[in-house]
């Protein structure tokens, strides 16, 4: 029996916040072959970390089928959470090593759920360094903030 390869998707995500906390936005660029999709949104009162998490969640949520996703993020918070901290948080009942509640637990749980649906490879990119996908995601995140003002 042969298995069908998963659709390949490249995603760039970013969050923005005008004040921390303050009005915030998130953006994502999804590419699969010749197909491309842009997503963005905003929240009236939030933090940059919440918007970074929301961008990744919404990017993965937008995929209707299991995919092989290469996720490009510029957030050390998201990268460290997914690659280092998450297993310990889950093992410790969503408590940090210092026994304090995990900040943004609702979003970490949602992200964990979305990541489980896909085959995800994490790639960290330096923000504002000329990576075209990251620059577009940043512009979309700022568009998310601006959408709150209209």
Beta bridge partners of 16: 25
CA distance 8 to 140: 22
Establish whether 52 is a catalytic residue: yes
Q: What is the mean pLDDT of residues 106-120?
A: 98
Q: Could you tell me if residue 13 is inside a domain? A: yes
Q: What is the mean pLDDT of residues 27-38?
A: 97
Q: Could you tell me if residue 1 is inside a domain? A: no
Provide the pLDDT for residue 3: 76
Percentage of the chain surpassing pLDDT 90?
92
Beta bridge partners of 72: 12, 123
Q: Could you tell me if residue 2 is inside a domain? A: no
In this prediction the pTM is 0.95
Give which of 120, 105, 107 is closest to 63, Cα–Cα.
Answer: 120
Establish whether 112 is a catalytic residue: no
- Cα-based torsion angle of the residue sequence 135, 74, 24, 50 in order, rounded to the nearest 10 degrees: 160
Q: Could you tell me if residue 145 is inside a domain? A: yes
Residue whose structure tokens are 């460290």: 80
Q: How confident is the model at residue 14 (pLDDT cuts 50, 70, 90)?
A: very high
Q: Could you tell me if residue 3 is inside a domain? A: no
Establish whether 130 is a catalytic residue: no
Can you give the residue range of the structural domain that contains 54? 8-149
pLDDT at residue 1 tops 80: no
Q: Could you tell me if residue 52 is inside a domain? A: yes
CATH classification at residue 116: 3.30.420.10
Establish whether 15 is a catalytic residue: yes
Establish whether 128 is a catalytic residue: yes
Establish whether 36 is a catalytic residue: no
Q: What is the mean pLDDT of residues 119-133?
A: 93
Q: Could you tell me if residue 132 is inside a domain? A: yes
Summarize pLDDT for 33-76 with one digit per residue, the tens. 999 999 999 999 999 999 999 999 999 999 999 999 999 999 99
pLDDT at residue 2 tops 70: no
Active-site pick, 24, 72, 81, 138: 138
pLDDT at residue 16 tops 80: yes
Active-site pick, 43, 74, 133, 144: 74
Q: Could you tell me if residue 55 is inside a domain? A: yes
Active-site pick, 52, 81, 118, 144: 52
Number of domains in the chain: 1
Peptide bond into 90 cis (omega under 30): no
């Amino acid at each position: 029996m042969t298995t069908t390869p998963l659709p390949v998707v490249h995603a760039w995500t970013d969050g923005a916040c005008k004040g921390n906390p303050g009005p915030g936005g998130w953006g994502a660029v999804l590419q699969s072959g010749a197909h491309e999709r842009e997503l963005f949104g905003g929240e009236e009162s939030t933090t940059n970390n919440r918007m970074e998490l929301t961008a990744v969640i919404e990017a993965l949520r937008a995929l209707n089928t299991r995919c092989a996703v290469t996720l490009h993020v510029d957030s050390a918070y998201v990268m460290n959470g997914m690659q280092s901290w998450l297993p310990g948080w889950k093992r410790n009942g969503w408590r940090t090593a210092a026994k304090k509640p995990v900040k943004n637990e609702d979003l970490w749980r949602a992200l964990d759920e979305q990541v489980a649906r896909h085959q995800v490879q994490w790639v960290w990119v330096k923000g504002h360094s000329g990576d075209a996908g990251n620059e577009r995601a940043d512009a979309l995140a700022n568009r998310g903030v601006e959408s709150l003002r209209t």
